[in-house]
Structure 1
Amino acid sequence: MPASSTVFRRHLGGRSAGVSTRVDLPSGPRTCLSALGTPRHPGMESPRPPNRFHKFALALSILVRDARPGSPRARRPDMRLEHVNLTVTDLDRSVAFYRDILDFEVRWSGENELGMRQVHIGTDDYYLALFEGRNGQGDPPADDYYERGFNHFGLLVGPDDGRFEEIRDRVAERDIAISANEIPPGRRFYFHDPDGCEIEVAEYPTA
């Protein structure tokens, strides 16, 4: 049975913009939210005021709001993370960084309705939505995990395929600081992109 209705609400205010979509499915109503700048909750009539993490807001392409208790959709974990949304100070620099270090490929580029340049760069399964800010101002995300907001995003590489060392060597060749963590299971290292966004690369052993 197809969705019975769809309602769009647009939020515009200051530097923030987003679109939320309500879809009535047989399994219950769902609200999907696409954000272009600042975190917000499904169903809000206006976005949160910008905070220090505004610049690196994380946008999930699908957020489930009200799956009916006991329905197949409520029980089945059929969601996946599609993309992370980042606002950067220099779009061309960021595209080159993610392409050269992580082998990401540009999937799409253009402008949004606010006139912001944007690029989707990643793999066939997921991507980063990079937006170029107007003036390059704003605070970078904090490394203090006790602070509220975005901390880092993590990438998983296959065990024993050499990708872990390959990416780490590329980062080191560019004199980018690396911190390592080998607390079981697996191992991981962390580094920052040109705008201070922290990235984790992890590898887990085969079972």
Structure 2
Amino acid sequence: MPAARLEHVNIRVSDAERSAAFFTKLCGWHERWRGPAIDDGFSIHLGTESQYIVFYAPPGGHSGRFEKGVPLQHVGIEVDDLDVAEQIVIAAGLEPFNHADYEPGKRFYFYDWDGIEFEVVSYGG
């Protein structure tokens, strides 16, 4: 049997438009779809032709930040240029932390506006 691949991840956020605009800039992804979603919410699908993240916002958003690890630890995103990615994160008012350089690549982490942790990694030189 061939190996499976991760097709999408659906994340609840307080502002789908803000998240989609940020990740478009950070990752160079394109919008695949947007529209009404379950429980009168709204979703934006952002990614590539074969993989994407759904940014789902329930009606009225949600209050507060999510606790790390409940149940998601973090989402990893591979980029070509880690320095450019970090500048985009900083320009959005978010704070990179835990910079590391170990096999197989360099990385840093940041929390988005809802407390969701993202790891940004680069395997290139």
What residue ranges of structure 1 are gaps of 5+ in the alignment? 1-72
Q: How far apart are the structure 2 equivalents of 1:115 and 1:108?
A: 16
RMSD: 2.2
SS of the equivalent of 1:171 reads helix
Aligned CA distance change for structure 1 residues 114 and 141 (closer, same or farther; 3 Å): closer
Q: TM-score w.r.t. structure 1 length?
A: 0.53
SS in 2 for 1:202: strand
- Structure of larger gyration radius: 1
Look up the SS of the partner of 2:88 in the other structure. helix
Counting strand residues as a fraction of each chain, which structure ranks higher?
2
Pick aligned residue for 1:178 from 92, 96, 118: 96
Q: 1:193 aligns with which of 93, 97, 112?
A: 112
In 2, distance between residues paired with 1:142 and 1:181? 23
Aligned equivalent of 2:75, options 149, 153, 156: 153
TM-score normalized with structure 2 length = 0.83
Equivalent positions of 1:37-56 (< 5 A) are none
Match of 1:133 among 58, 68, 75: 58
Amino acid at match of 2:115: G
Is residue 83 of structure 1 aligned with residue 8 of structure 2? yes
Q: 1:171 to 1:109 in 2, by over 3 A?
A: same
| Aligned position for 1:122 | 47
Identity %: 30
- DSSP-derived class of the 1:182 partner: strand
Instruction: Give me the whole-angstrom Cα distance separating, in 1, the residues matched to 2:38 and 2:105.
Output: 43
Structure 2 gaps of 5+ residues are none
Q: How does 1:82-101 map onto structure 2 within 5 Å? A: 82-101=7-26
Secondary structure in structure 1 of the residue aligned to 2:108: strand
CA offsets, 1:104-155, max 9 Å, x none? 2110011135332111011223111111112333553334xxx551011101
